[in-house]
């Protein structure tokens, strides 16, 4: 019989209640972990799915580009887990601020950290901090309506952005380039906040250049996302044939790898494109390594050095330098995890060290602590990658239950304790009120939904629904 170890008694027994698991972070990895726990039959569980925001879905809400309507609809599927009787959504609770990790751990038998990688990687070059240089994470947070987005900084930059340079050739870089190049009509069906639609409609964007420091064979974007660039109604995608010339090793890689082959073939189909007057241009550039951002009081350009790529994929500068004009530079060179107070983070990788999802502290497994998603494996893969990842972690947790290595928590409900201390957790019914308010707000502009982007508006929707119920 699976059980929880009662360290005090030194015996293994079932404690006569469901296993209590807290999942910290209600993005895809957290929801998939909750799903894996809720759907198994071996161990009765009660899962608390915690998020520091009043809303669930993590990057499905605040990361997937708003014009990717089908991918964003994934939240309908993920909602099934929020609705599961063994799962309790608890939003608006920041571990380390509203409740320490230690306090949480006293109240649950196990914790799974799934809080992702919200920070941005740095370029480490001169001029990176100049006004007009933004991290893609900041731009994405802004256009998705994340409550922490810095509207003033992003909107000031967008309002001047005639020449945009996006650094990096991953899917996030393509998301940003595409959203900036889209026409207002194309963005209208999205759930972007209204002020984002207005700012993008008013922005003077004429040229968007997307920079790869290595060759086209090393780009990390996927072909489906690449091809979307040719379907933009108000923009023309351009690529210089010289940038698509492949070294012999890259030719070999292309023959062996379908992704590279499809990407390069797609881009070769664009070399004859000519920008029509009045169209925004989206130009893909390769072998262009950013050396520094140019400008005194704000960014005016990106100095790039031409590179060649060797057989190992390493780029070497040729000394051939040019400056690409830019009013806005978006640095899209990857995400990075941050430490949760009380949880050690490997500084080099920006991830939590683990063994099959079991958290390591000081080189040994820490019983009752687990990790899944980007904070476990780094910022890679698509949303679905997290499903397998979360299952692996939950498998380790259930094996530990079976082996009797978990210490049972106290009996009081931490949410009651938090409320008694003045906290305002947002539960499932509250989230439903937010959901309904966003749909109602969208309807006022003929849209399916408009994202509420301020924490205060989200909580006001909760209070209004509670007042209506009481009245
Ligand atoms: P990514 O795919 O790792 O791309 C990062 C890019 O930054 C690479 O092109 C990399 O080039 C470049 N880079 C890194 N350091 C650089 C430097 N110092 N100077 C210049 N360039 C530099 O990461 P991402 O685009 O942030 O995406 C994160 C994950 O989310 C990926 O798995 C992605 O597929 C996924 N995602 C998927 C979708 C979708 O499915 N539609 C949308 C968005 C994101 P090097 O290769 O040369 O290092």
Beta strands per DSSP E along 155-197: 163-167
**Residue with CA closest to ligand 1 atom 29:** 380
Residue ending a domain, choose from 281, 309, 331: 331
- Residue 124 alpha carbon, nearest atom of ligand 1: 18
Residue 289 CA to ligand 1 center (angstroms) comes to: 15
Q: Residue 223: inside a domain, yes or no?
A: yes
**Residue with CA closest to ligand 1 atom 42:** 171
Q: Residue 167: inside a domain, yes or no?
A: yes
**Residue with CA closest to ligand 1 atom 18:** 123
Are residue 145 and residue 220 in the same domain, yes or no? yes
Distance between start and end Cα atoms, the chain: 49
295: containing domain: 121-331
Residue 14 confidence (pLDDT): 55
Residue 340 CA to ligand 1 center (angstroms) comes to: 24
Torsion region of 356: left, alpha or beta (phi above 0 gives left; psi -120 to 50 gives alpha): left
Residue 8 confidence (pLDDT): 39
Q: Residue 126: inside a domain, yes or no?
A: yes
Dist CA 137 CA 154 (whole Å)? 11
Q: Residue 314: inside a domain, yes or no?
A: yes
Residue 401 CA to ligand 1 center (angstroms) comes to: 37
Mutate-to-test residue for ligand 1 from 171, 173, 216, 286, highest number of ligand atoms within 8 A of CB = 171
pTM of the model: 0.95
Are residue 153 and residue 264 in the same domain, yes or no? yes
Pocket of ligand 1 (CB under 6 A): 123, 167-173, 175, 212-214, 218, 220, 225, 290, 332-335, 379-382
Residue ending a domain, choose from 288, 305, 331: 331
Residue 65 belongs to domain with CATH number: 3.40.50.720
Residue 469 confidence (pLDDT): 87
For residue 445, give the nearest of 159, 202, 192 by alpha carbon: 192
Residue 192 CA to ligand 1 center (angstroms) comes to: 23
Residue 77 CA, chain-centre distance (Å), reads 18
Helices (H), 63-213: 69-72, 74-82, 101-107, 136-144, 151-159, 171-181, 184-187, 194-202
- Residue 123 alpha carbon, nearest atom of ligand 1: 18
Residue 4 confidence (pLDDT): 54
Residue ending a domain, choose from 411, 426, 441: 426
- Mean pLDDT per 10-residue run, the chain (471 residues)? 45 68 98 98 96 98 97 96 98 96 96 96 97 98 98 98 98 98 97 98 98 97 98 97 90 91 97 94 98 98 96 94 98 96 95 98 97 97 95 98 92 93 96 98 96 98 92 73
**Residue with CA closest to ligand 1 atom 3:** 334
Strand partners, 435: none
Mutate-to-test residue for ligand 1 from 333, 336, 350, 385, highest number of ligand atoms within 8 A of CB = 333
- Residue 218 alpha carbon, nearest atom of ligand 1: 46
Helices (H), 304-427: 374-377, 385-403, 414-420
Q: Residue 97: inside a domain, yes or no?
A: yes
Residue 13 confidence (pLDDT): 41
Q: Residue 213: inside a domain, yes or no?
A: yes
Tell me the pairing of strands 207-211 and 163-167.
Answer: parallel
Are residue 133 and residue 190 in the same domain, yes or no? yes
Residue 197 belongs to domain with CATH number: 3.50.50.60
Q: Residue 41: inside a domain, yes or no?
A: yes
Are residue 380 and residue 323 in the same domain, yes or no? no
Residue 12 confidence (pLDDT): 29
Domain count for the chain, please give it. Answer: 2
**Residue with CA closest to ligand 1 atom 14:** 333
Are residue 356 and residue 406 in the same domain, yes or no? yes
Torsion of CA 339, 340, 342, 347, to 10 degrees: -10
**Residue with CA closest to ligand 1 atom 40:** 382
3-state secondary structure (DSSP) of residue 87: strand
Dist CA 176 CA 172 (whole Å)? 6
Q: Residue 221: inside a domain, yes or no?
A: yes
Are residue 204 and residue 60 in the same domain, yes or no? no
Are residue 375 and residue 416 in the same domain, yes or no? yes
Are residue 323 and residue 179 in the same domain, yes or no? yes
- Residue 222 alpha carbon, nearest atom of ligand 1: 34
Residue 9 confidence (pLDDT): 40
Are residue 111 and residue 145 in the same domain, yes or no? no
Strand partners, 237: 282
Dist CA 358 CA 150 (whole Å)? 35
Are residue 196 and residue 292 in the same domain, yes or no? yes
- Residue 333 alpha carbon, nearest atom of ligand 1: 7
Are residue 300 and residue 407 in the same domain, yes or no? no
Are residue 200 and residue 306 in the same domain, yes or no? yes
Residue 10 confidence (pLDDT): 34
**Residue with CA closest to ligand 1 atom 7:** 333
Phi/psi of residue 347, nearest 5 degrees? -65, -35
């Amino acid at each position: 019989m699976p059980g929880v170890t009662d360290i005090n008694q030194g015996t293994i027994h079932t404690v006569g209640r469901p296993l209590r698991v807290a999942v910290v972070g209600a993005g895809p990895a957290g929801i998939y972990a909750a799903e894996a726990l809720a759907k198994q039959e071996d161990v009765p569980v009660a899962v608390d799915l915690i998020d520091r925001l009043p809303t669930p879905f993590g990057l499905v809400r605040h990361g997937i580009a708003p014009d990717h309507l089908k991918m964003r609809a994934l939240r309908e599927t993920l909602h099934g887990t929020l609705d599961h009787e063994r799962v309790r959504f608890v939003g608006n609770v920041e571990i380390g601020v509203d409740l320490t990790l230690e306090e949480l751990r006293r109240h649950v038998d196990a914790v799974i950290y799934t809080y992702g990688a919200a920070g941005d990687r740095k370029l480490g070059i001169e001029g990176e901090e100049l006004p007009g240089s933004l991290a893609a994470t900041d731009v994405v947070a802004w256009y998705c309506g994340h409550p922490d987005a810095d509207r003033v900084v992003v909107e000031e930059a967008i309002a001047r952005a005639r020449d945009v340079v996006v650094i990096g050739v991953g899917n996030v870089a393509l998301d940003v380039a595409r959203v900036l190049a889209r026409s207002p009509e194309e963005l209208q069906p999205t759930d972007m906040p209204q002020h984002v639609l207005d700012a993008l409609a008013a922005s003077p964007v004429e040229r968007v250049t997307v920079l790869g420091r290595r060759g086209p064979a090393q780009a990390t974007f996927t072909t489906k996302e690449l091809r979307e660039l040719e379907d933009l109604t108000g923009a023309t995608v351009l690529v210089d044939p010289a940038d698509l010339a492949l070294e012999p090793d890259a030719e070999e890689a292309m023959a062996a790898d379908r992704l590279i082959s499809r990407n390069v073939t797609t881009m070769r189909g664009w070399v004859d494109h000519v920008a029509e007057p009045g169209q925004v241009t989206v130009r893909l550039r390769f072998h262009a390594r950013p050396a520094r951002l140019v400008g005194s009081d704000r960014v005016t350009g990106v100095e790039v050095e031409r590179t060649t790529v060797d057989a190992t994929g390493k780029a070497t500068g040729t000394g051939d330098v040019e400056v690409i004009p830019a009013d806005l530079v978006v640095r899209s060179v990857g995400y990075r995890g941050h430490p949760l107070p009380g949880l050690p983070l490997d500084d080099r990788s920006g991830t939590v060290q683990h063994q099959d999802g079991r958290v390591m502290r000081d080189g040994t497994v820490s019983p009752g602590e687990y990790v899944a998603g980007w904070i476990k494996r780094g910022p890679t893969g698509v949303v679905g990658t997290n499903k397998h990842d979360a299952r692996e972690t939950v498998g380790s947790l259930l094996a530990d239950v079976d082996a009797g290595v978990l210490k049972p928590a106290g009996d009081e409900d931490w949410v009651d304790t938090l409320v008694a201390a003045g906290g305002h957790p947002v539960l499932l019914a509250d989230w439903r009120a937010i959901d309904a308010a966003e749909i109602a707000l969208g309807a006022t502009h003929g849209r399916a939904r408009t994202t509420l982007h301020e924490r205060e508006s989200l909580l006001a929707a909760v209070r209004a629904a509670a007042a209506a119920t009481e009245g």
